[in-house]
């Protein structure tokens, strides 16, 4: 972690410099904790109410599944 970014937290910059540094400052923002395996298992979606046929119809394609 780069602690120098925290020193920029309460500084006043001109608009051009702020725009130039915005992506770097945003990258060093506090992030959420990495979820545990147990937390990931509870968020899993096993069933979807959207079918491949419906998705293809929405974009104007004809869906033909491979029957091998």
Question: Residue 31 has what pLDDT?
Answer: 77
In the 3-class helix/strand/coil scheme, how is 19-42 assigned residue by residue? HHHHHHHHHCCCCCCCCCHHHHHH
- Angstrom distance (rounded) from CA 49 to CA 62: 19
Question: Residue 3 has what pLDDT?
Answer: 57
- Angstrom distance (rounded) from CA 68 to CA 53: 18
In this predicted model, what pLDDT tens digit does every residue of 7-63 receive, in sequence order? 767 788 888 988 888 888 778 777 788 878 887 777 666 666 778 888 888 899 888
Question: Residue 16 has what pLDDT?
Answer: 92
Nearest to 29 by CA among 1, 57, 50, 49: 1
Q: Is a pLDDT exceeding 80 seen at residue 1?
A: no
pTM of the model: 0.34
Question: Residue 11 has what pLDDT?
Answer: 80
């Amino acid at each position: 972690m780069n602690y120098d970014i925290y020193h920029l937290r309460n500084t006043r910059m001109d608009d051009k410099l702020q725009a130039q540094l915005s992506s770097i400052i945003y990258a060093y923002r506090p992030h959420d904790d990495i979820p545990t395996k147990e937390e990931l298992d509870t968020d899993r979606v096993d069933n979807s109410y959207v079918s491949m046929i419906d998705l293809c119809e929405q974009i104007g394609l004809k869906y033909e599944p491979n029957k091998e």
